[in-house]
Structure 1
Amino acid sequence: MSAPAPAAATWAKPNRCGVIAALDTPDPARALDWAAAVAPHVGLVKVGLELFCAEGPAVVQRIAMHRPVFLDLKFHDIPNTVAGAVRSVCLEPPAMLTLHAGGGGAMIEAARRAAEDAAGPRRPAILAVTVLTSFTTEGLAETGVSGGPAQQVLRLARVALAAGADGLVCSPHEVSRLRDAFGDAPLLVVPGVRPAGSAAGDQARTATPEDTARAGADWLVIGRPITGAADPAQAAARIAAGLAG
């Protein structure tokens, strides 16, 4: 397999851990308001399934006027289908794009090739989602996976990186293990991050922004602690200041 292309400017490794604000709403007007408010304090904004399914690709272009977009659609299908989906979203390429590592090496390699063909040097970073932050050991066992989240994250990470993924999505609990196993090269994008005193919600494997950054994360994906605050801009600024030390 050929060596990875140089990182595009919008998703190159940051000098210090940065924040991605998750715009989890089906309402485009609300998402745009949030994006405008938090833009001075975050590096990227996340468009996920809820907003994308409600509004389609056009909303990505509108959101990207404020900050580069982390498009979190978690593709998981046969390689040809995923390649076609990647080509479609790369017409106006986001900065980062997710797919499930569980789709296997052939799917991940097909996704990367499709991104390169469709967007060239402007292609998004291909990020492989390992184990969702809502999963516990018991939840994984229900699906037939033994050994718990940490072991499964490492298994899937090896497959994804060997197939050409630029980085991984994992919970805060696996960051240091991934750094020990794979070094500084992979981008590590981490949801399940909760400032001290915040409710965990439906996340099972969480940590604070400061602890997650110290473990070696590149980007923290933070939604409700920002967008659910009375002043999202102030909440984002406070988190960013904490990471700056």
Structure 2
Amino acid sequence: MTTGARGRLIVGLDLPTTAQAEKIVSTLGDDVAFYKIGYQLAFAGGLEFARDLAGSGKKIFLDMKLLDIDNTVAKGVENIVKMGMSMLTLHAYPKAMRAAVEAARGSGLCLLGVTVLTSMDEQDVIDAGYEYDPHTLVLRRAEQARAAGMGGIVCSAEEASAVRKIIGAEMALVTPGIRPVGADKGDQKRVMTPAQALRAGSSHLVVGRPIVMAPDPLAASRAILAEMDSALSD
């Protein structure tokens, strides 16, 4: 498992243009080694940008949340491996996960199963037609991800401690919805501070808006890294 805050902080480049993303990456410099690229930036030139960042030595978490028929998932994963990505998300459906694991076999790509989005609470899960509450659904999908041979799990830090007991010490446990003390929660409903999340068992923290929308992104990232280092040294 990755050690040290710099290897565990993933800055979410949730921005509308690659020009803005490039500015953030330049501003953060060597302090930040890991970036997440999701839908917003991916559909604005972000996939080529992700390839370029990986080529420059940065680690990239490609947050595509894949879900499709087995063959389509497998072929997509094969091409993402060629891009040099470090992490990739897919929804934690057993068949899709098994197809992705087989396609990524032998590569360095860490496949992450998305359990329940951190923007969803119990009513949202009920409205989506699931018979389980969010906590139960997260644990069930964590078990299925481990059985499928996935590299890790994405879940709320609120579930991190329980999930860690299921997946063991080696799998990655990536938590979005991280908000420093006093930060706006935005559309996130299940959140924790960086220190709380690490103590709960998270291995990697995804932090987007509290850094990229901060008046001073570098200062914001350094404050979060310092909080993480303090928690890791406890």
Q: Helix, strand or coil: the match of 1:193?
A: coil
> TM-score, normalization: structure 2?
0.92
- Aligned-pair CA distance for 1:56: 5.1
Q: Does 1:32 align with 2:17?
A: no
Structure 1 pair 232–56 and aligned structure 2 pair: CA distance change class (3 A) = closer
Letter in 2 for 1:217: S
Letter in 2 for 1:19: L
Aligned with residue 80 of structure 2, among 89, 94, 99: 89
Aligned with residue 91 of structure 2, among 100, 105, 108: 100
- Spell out the pairing of 1:140-179 with structure 2 (5 A cutoff): 140-179=125-164
Q: Helix, strand or coil: the match of 1:57?
A: helix
Q: Helix, strand or coil: the match of 2:40?
A: helix
Letter in 1 for 2:16: P
Whether the aligned pair in 2 keeps the contact of 1:95 and 1:124 (CA below 8 Å) is yes
Divergent runs of 4+, >6 A: none
How far apart, in 2, do the equivalents of 1:51 and 1:66 lie? 19
Question: Which residue of structure 2 aligns with residue 128 of structure 1?
Answer: 113
Q: Residue by residue, what CA displacement relative to the aligned partner does 1:149-207 show, whole Å, maximum 9, x if unpaired?
A: 11000011111110111100001110001122232121100000000000000101001
How far apart, in 1, do the equivalents of 2:165 and 2:100 lie? 26
- Aligned-pair CA distance for 1:90: 1.9
- Aligned-pair CA distance for 1:91: 1.8
Between 147-156 and 55-64, the greater mean CA deviation after superposition: 55-64
How far apart, in 1, do the equivalents of 2:4 and 2:136 lie? 27
Between 66-75 and 54-63, the greater mean CA deviation after superposition: 54-63
How far apart, in 1, do the equivalents of 2:214 and 2:220 lie? 7
Letter in 1 for 2:96: M
How far apart, in 1, do the equivalents of 2:189 and 2:218 lie? 26
Question: Which residue of structure 2 aligns with residue 5 of structure 1?
Answer: none
Letter in 1 for 2:67: H
Question: Which residue of structure 2 aligns with residue 52 of structure 1?
Answer: 42
Question: Which residue of structure 1 aligns with residue 175 of structure 2?
Answer: 190
Q: Helix, strand or coil: the match of 1:152?
A: helix
> TM-score, normalization: structure 1?
0.88
Between 34-43 and 85-94, the greater mean CA deviation after superposition: 34-43
How far apart, in 1, do the equivalents of 2:31 and 2:136 lie? 34
Question: Which residue of structure 2 aligns with residue 115 of structure 1?
Answer: 104
Whether the aligned pair in 1 keeps the contact of 2:90 and 2:113 (CA below 8 Å) is yes
Q: Does 1:41 align with 2:31?
A: yes
Across the aligned residues of Structure 1 and Structure 2, the Cα RMSD in angstroms comes to 1.4
How far apart, in 2, do the equivalents of 1:28 and 1:227 lie? 13
- Aligned-pair CA distance for 1:16: 4.0
Question: Which residue of structure 2 aligns with residue 15 of structure 1?
Answer: 3
- The size of the alignment, in residue pairs, is 227
Structure 1 pair 16–174 and aligned structure 2 pair: CA distance change class (3 A) = farther
Q: Helix, strand or coil: the match of 2:22?
A: helix
Q: Residue by residue, what CA displacement relative to the aligned partner does 1:64-103 show, whole Å, maximum 9, x if unpaired?
A: 22621111110011111111111122222201111000xx
How far apart, in 2, do the equivalents of 1:79 and 1:131 lie? 21
Whether the aligned pair in 1 keeps the contact of 2:11 and 2:208 (CA below 8 Å) is yes
How far apart, in 1, do the equivalents of 2:98 and 2:115 lie? 16
How far apart, in 2, do the equivalents of 1:42 and 1:176 lie? 26
Runs of 5+ unmatched residues, structure 2: none
